[in-house]
Structure 1
Amino acid sequence: MKTQFGNILLRRRKELGFTQEYIAKALHLSAQAISKWERGKTMPDILLLPALADLLQTSTDELLGHHRQYGKTVYDDRYKADEFYWGLEPNEMCYDILRLKPPSQRRLVLDMGCGEGKDAVFLARCGYDAVGFDLAAEGIAKAKWLASQHPTAAAEFFRADMLEYVPQQEYDILFASGVLHYLPPERRGAILQEYQRCIRPGGLCALNVFVQKPFIPPPPDEEIDGGYWRSGELFSLFADWKFHRCEEIIFDCVSGGTLHQHVMDILIAEKIV
């Protein structure tokens, strides 16, 4: 991804007739830093990307190479409504993050499958630097709008497919709520291993997954493309991590306006080594 980003940056800079020195001055950086980006040696801090994109008259998605045409998702129509499909109340795992790794120092959060961005924006408002991505274009549009209502919150969003996207920088916290059932069972271990690698030592993974039980009917408003997880399956993929929270719950849900129940495994795990 570093090489791809560097090629996109170099091409766009030359199209606009900008020098490395011009970009460096505008961003209060050294020309050497810009050169390293273009040569694929390093990547800019992801929170610097919006300013760089504005300077280059493009979008962060284009800079990151996420410009291919994705198909419409089942959630795009649901996210078109003015109200937020999942509401604005933050997921309870956000409070686990605040308790275990408070933003007393800079902490970078990656929200995997962020939907309409409510959790990423909440964490950003609390003092974290948050980055979220999702496949639903309407969700990303609403997430960006929500972030714009809180200008002091450091939250950025881009469109990407979690089956393809591989993080290229380190994060302190990985957050994923209500989305990991879209990982095909045969790829779950490999994909989560890639995300585990991008977490710094001492960082957290805050994740939940839907679990199938024979006594709980399927929800009326959701397509489980990859399939439900088995009880304990998520926990087994983090066997070498320190568990702060590890539980299975049954809860009522009214998403989509219909009362139903879910079974969910919840994991808050810390990377020690």
Structure 2
Amino acid sequence: MKDKLARNISIYRKERGLTQEELAQHLGISFQAISKWENSQSMPDITLLPALSKILEVSVDKLLGYVVQDKKITIYEDEYQTEEYYWGTEPNRACYQVLQLMPPTKPLKLLDVGCGEGKDAVFFARNGYEVSAFDVTDAGIEKTRRLADRIGVHLNVFKADLLEYRLDTHYDIIFSSGDLHYIKPEYRTEIFANYKRFTNENGMHVFTVFVNKPFIAPPPEKETNAYAWHSGELLAHYHDWLIRDSAEIVFDCNSSGIPHQHAMTNMAAQKVPSVLRP
């Protein structure tokens, strides 16, 4: 809990545009105390939590790291309430790239970030990976479990907010398809540094992100919590990794019932061992 609280104080302080000194002034304490909180060296006194919550404009539960949704994160929450699988049950093409580049010839731990209704996570489990997966929607998690039961595979699925969740366990593969646009630009460096840190040597990240293109109209879905990526932006976070594959594609989509197009970057990057120099 201490580490989650430390990260959340730092995240929400920056989101509100406050310096450590300014937050300290609001609370009537020293800025050194704020620094210790954000570095996990100490925790706020319980009597300060209500005031801290009010200043940072988040609930105490959310500050402590519990996922409590005051508003919808994704427009697909309602779609996941239906019996049918909104995205179908066929795996994304990027899943086959994982199989090709890092087949499960030995036990491999894989994390599916933003698993939605679970089609990709279940595919990986079916093919022999040790799979963990998370999503922010209760309905998505329930449908992931239901699909896993139907196929007869085991996976660890849990609820978490992509923007707030940080890894504390190492994985061999981290996978995400079409969910990383929910990460605010100012948090991307920190989040990807966390993902890279908790990836085993020779492990891989296989990600797809939507990118803005001036010749493609904005999608008809109005996602207030989605944030644009730009061409090359994802690769910049992996300048110190081996890029095994990178492509940018334009494809047709009808997810909203209105035909439209998306541009997407597909990336596969590998964490190669550091070269030792004399």
Deviation at 1:78, TM superposition (A): 0.9
CA distance in 1, matches of 2:129, 2:263: 29
Q: Give the TM-score taking structure 2 as reference length.
A: 0.72
TM-score normalised to the size of structure 1?
A: 0.73
| 1:128/1:154 contact within 8 Å kept | no
Deviation at 1:86, TM superposition (A): 1.2
In structure 2, distance between residues paired with 1:3 and 1:188 = 19
Give the 5 Å matches for 1:74-93. Answer: 74-93=75-94
**In 1, Cα distance between the equivalents of 2:150 and 2:3?**
34
Task: Identify the residue that residue 60 of structure 1 maps to in structure 2.
Answer: none
Deviates more, 1:85-94 or 1:65-74: 65-74
Shift of 1:67: 5.3
For residues 179 and 263 of structure 2, the distance between their equivalents in structure 1, rounded to whole angstroms, comes to 14
Offset from partner CA, 1:2-46 (integer Å, 9 cap, x none): 999xxxxxxxxxxxxxxxxxxxxxxxxxxxxxxxxxxxxxxxxxx
Q: How does 1:178-257 map to 2 (within 5 A)?
A: 178-221=178-221, 223=223, 225-257=225-257
How many angstroms apart in 2 are the aligned matches of 1:70 and 1:272? 38
Find the residue that maps to 1:256 and give its secondary structure.
Answer: coil
Q: Percent same amino acid among aligned pairs?
A: 45
Q: Is the 8 A contact 2:67 2:161 kept in 1?
A: no
Q: Is the 8 A contact 2:67 2:160 kept in 1?
A: no
CA RMSD of superposed structures (Å): 1.9
Alignment of 1:111-126 (within 5 A): 111-126=112-127
Displacement, 1:164?
Answer: 1.4
Consecutive unaligned residues of structure 1, counting only runs of 5 or more, are 5-64
Residues 167, 70 of structure 1: alpha-carbon distance in 2 compared, 3 angstrom cutoff: same
C-alpha spacing 1:215/1:174, structure 2 compared with 1 (3 Å): same
Seen in structure 2, the aligned counterparts of structure 1 residues 119 and 264 have a Cα distance that, compared at 3 Å, is same
Could you tell me whether the CA contact under 8 Å between 1:181 and 1:224 is conserved in 2?
no
| 1:90–1:119 Cα contact (<8 Å) kept | yes
Corresponding residue of 1:40 = none
Contact conserved, 1:112 with 1:174, CA < 8 A, in 2?
yes
**Match for residue 168 of structure 1?**
168
Cα distance in 2 for residues equivalent to 1:193 and 1:166? 10
Does structure 2 conserve the Cα–Cα contact (< 8 Å) formed by 1:85 and 1:256?
no
Quickly say closer, same or farther: Cα 1:110–1:254, change in 2 above 3 A.
same
